[in-house]
Structure 1
Amino acid sequence: MAEDTPSVEFYWDNIVIKVEDRLFCVPRCEFVQSSEVFADMFLLPSAPGANPEGRDREHPLVLEGYKKDEFACLLKVMYPTYVAMTFTNFILFICGLVYRAGSLISGTTLALALGKEEWVSVLKLSTIWNMEKIRAYAIHRLSTDFVLSPTEKIHLARAHKVAAWLDEGVTSLVSTDQKPTLADLATLGWETAAQILWIRDNSPHSQSLIPAVTLHFKGAEIWCAICTSPGRQITFNPITCNGCKRNVTLDTVLTAVGPGKLSGHTERLVPFRDILCGANHCRAPIFSAGTTVTCQYCGTYNPGHMNARVTPSRMTPPLGLKNMIEETFGEEIKKYNVA
């Protein structure tokens, strides 16, 4: 009788891992494929007569110095199950169509129901163990699913080597007309606090009440400034840009020179008339005379000289301010870019 042949794709060895007082048993292959650190670790030969670490619960692979709850967060991404998935992905999972993180993470399409601190744990461990794909995805989810204050971005950037967050956090603190609070500055340490205040005081725009930076945001990130209701998003019918003639929708990236007055951690107050097309070499005003917008609570109105609240996805500082940020924080940002 012919000997059964294991499947090349679906015949996994499990590995038992101990973190603090908790045992975890998962397929070994995902650790090998996601992390060079673990791949090299598993290649190390065992001592003669010794049981290989991780083969069973009596001989687990012990990870010292890590927290079991943080490790569990990483496993939710590496091995998605019903507790970490949307209903749609759960159906795919039980049908055998979804399992490993390597095949799930494609661009920005994976939907996992983790909270902010859980994603921070995923970022922390994926950075330590060189899990580049999972690390990049954790950064994406934290950037898009949650509101990170400028000081949070700086702290997380330094803890987990994320260059973009350091740049964004510093830019926000030095470019807004609302000075950072003493409590916020204290959390950054005296040296960083002094650097931020020095840039603010010596910026070419320091004499202006509203330093000029360019805000970048989508049409769907414009909010009514009249009311304060949770569903105050502004909607509008497609608009033809007077400059480049492209169709401007809620998904179109727009810009505004500002940042205008700060409203909350991320919202900026800008006049509708200052919202411009975001296409290269265009920058034509979008909300011209005759254009109407709609708020679910305030109804449809002509924005005219009214203000809007926008939540920019990024900000581009003016050249002088940008140079000062690079002079002060450039080496640190560059270090995280190559990390």
Structure 2
Amino acid sequence: MAEATPSVEFYWDNIVIKVEDRLFCVPRCEFVQLSEVFADMFLLPSAPGANPEGRDREHPLVLEGYKKDEFACLLKVMYPTAGSLISGTTLALALGKEEWVSVLKLSTIWNMEKIRAYAIHRLSTDFVLSPMEKIHLARAHKVAAWLDEGVTSLVSMDQKPTLADLATLGWETAAQILWIRDNSPHSQSLIPAVTLHFKGAAIWCAACTTLRRLIDMNHFTCNVCKYDVVADTELVAIGPGTMSGRTDRLVPFKDILCGTTNCRAPIFSSNYLTCDYCGTHNRIYARVTPSRITPTIASPGLKGMIEETFGEEIKKYKVAWFTTSL
């Protein structure tokens, strides 16, 4: 009688693994094929006379620092059974959200690229992840797309995130998100943005029609570049502003900026100034007479602001995972 030969597909060498107080006995091949971490671990030589770790229950491979329930979730994906896959006439692997998070966690730690990608896919398609969940999971498991999506949702939704939610992100991230919300355009204007150029002497009272200047420009210094702002100093404002008469424009005080090259810092620290002529407290707006109007380079928009603020972190997660998966 001819000697039987092992099946290429279905003849497995098992390994016994201990996590916390639980023993698991599973085919060794999946750990070797799916994880370079385990493949390298199994290549390490045993001490002379010692039994190889994982060969039997008396000598298990001990995984310190991991949770048995999380490890069991990973094994459900690595070794699915017919009972867990077949539901009626459909074939699907049914795990809950927290179970998939556990799979994502361990597959990331052990560089199981296929399982990690599948866990991210299932969490993205089978469950509704809140913006906060996406940010937390992105940072915990280096998922660049979720960080981008979570931040984008928080800065673009109509309702501001609650203080409790922001607190879970840390003060720096909370400040960055609120800064983007406050400075990003929430609506697209039909009027193209322009830059208004004018002299310090061409800032007028928004309430009266006198030709006298609204303020004494000799009292102002740019807080950033320390340049003295005088009557002849060129200033700028992002327009178009509101037309006031045939040539003048009403612009917010906060939008009047230093005209020095590469500065463009706000000149006024308050939102109102008193007219020297009529005594009116000009609140919010001043009237200016532009000497010229130039097109404004388009702002980076919401995506650009997110890239500016969180781009390095997003890139870091992409690079970190790409490096470990090589």
Do the structures match in fold with TM over 0.5? yes
TM-score after normalising by structure 2: 0.62
Q: In the TM superposition, what is the alpha-carbon distance from 1:8 to its structure 2 partner?
A: 2.3
TM-score after normalising by structure 1: 0.59
- Residue 256 of structure 2 corresponds to none
Distance of 1:125 and 1:168 partners within structure 2: 23
Letter in 2 for 1:194: A
Q: In the TM superposition, what is the alpha-carbon distance from 1:84 to its structure 2 partner?
A: 2.9
Specify the SS of the correspondent of 1:84: helix
Q: Describe how 1:288-327 pairs up with structure 2 within 5 A.
A: 319-327=300-308
Specify the SS of the correspondent of 2:46: coil
Q: Describe how 1:184-223 pairs up with structure 2 within 5 A.
A: 184-205=165-186
Q: Could you say if the C-alpha distance between residues 6 and 86 of structure 1 is closer, same or farther in structure 2, counting changes exceeding 3 Å?
A: closer
Whether 1:116 and 2:117 are equivalent positions in the alignment is no
- CA deviations over 1:164-215 (Å, ceiling 9, x no partner): 000000000001111111111011111100000011111133899xxxxxxx
Distance of 1:26 and 1:189 partners within structure 2: 41
- Residue 158 of structure 2 corresponds to 177
Q: In the TM superposition, what is the alpha-carbon distance from 1:119 to its structure 2 partner?
A: 0.2
Q: Is the 8 A contact 1:84 1:114 kept in 2?
A: no
Distance of 2:117 and 2:18 partners within structure 1: 26
Distance of 1:88 and 1:42 partners within structure 2: 39
- Residue 29 of structure 2 corresponds to 29
- Residue 13 of structure 1 corresponds to 13
Q: Identify unmatched segments of 5+ residues in structure 2.
A: 190-298, 322-326
Q: Is the 8 A contact 1:154 1:165 kept in 2?
A: yes
- Residue 127 of structure 1 corresponds to 108
Distance of 2:88 and 2:115 partners within structure 1: 21
Q: C-alpha root-mean-square deviation of aligned residues, in Å?
A: 2.0
- Residue 64 of structure 1 corresponds to 64
Q: In the TM superposition, what is the alpha-carbon distance from 1:319 to its structure 2 partner?
A: 4.8
Q: Is the 8 A contact 1:163 1:333 kept in 2?
A: yes
Letter in 1 for 2:77: V
Specify the SS of the correspondent of 1:74: helix
Letter in 2 for 1:55: R
Q: Is the 8 A contact 1:16 1:60 kept in 2?
A: yes
Q: Could you say if the C-alpha distance between residues 200 and 185 of structure 1 is closer, same or farther in structure 2, counting changes exceeding 3 Å?
A: same
Distance of 1:7 and 1:82 partners within structure 2: 20
Q: In the TM superposition, what is the alpha-carbon distance from 1:10 to its structure 2 partner?
A: 1.8
Distance of 1:180 and 1:20 partners within structure 2: 39
Q: In the TM superposition, what is the alpha-carbon distance from 1:143 to its structure 2 partner?
A: 0.4
Distance of 1:132 and 1:207 partners within structure 2: 41
Q: In the TM superposition, what is the alpha-carbon distance from 1:60 to its structure 2 partner?
A: 0.3
Q: In the TM superposition, what is the alpha-carbon distance from 1:112 to its structure 2 partner?
A: 1.0
What percent of counterpart residues are identical? 91
- Residue 314 of structure 2 corresponds to 333
Q: In the TM superposition, what is the alpha-carbon distance from 1:2 to its structure 2 partner?
A: 4.7
Specify the SS of the correspondent of 1:331: helix
Q: In the TM superposition, what is the alpha-carbon distance from 1:30 to its structure 2 partner?
A: 0.5
- Residue 117 of structure 2 corresponds to 136
Letter in 2 for 1:125: L
- Residue 249 of structure 2 corresponds to none
- Residue 303 of structure 1 corresponds to none
- The total of aligned residue pairs comes to 211
Letter in 1 for 2:47: A
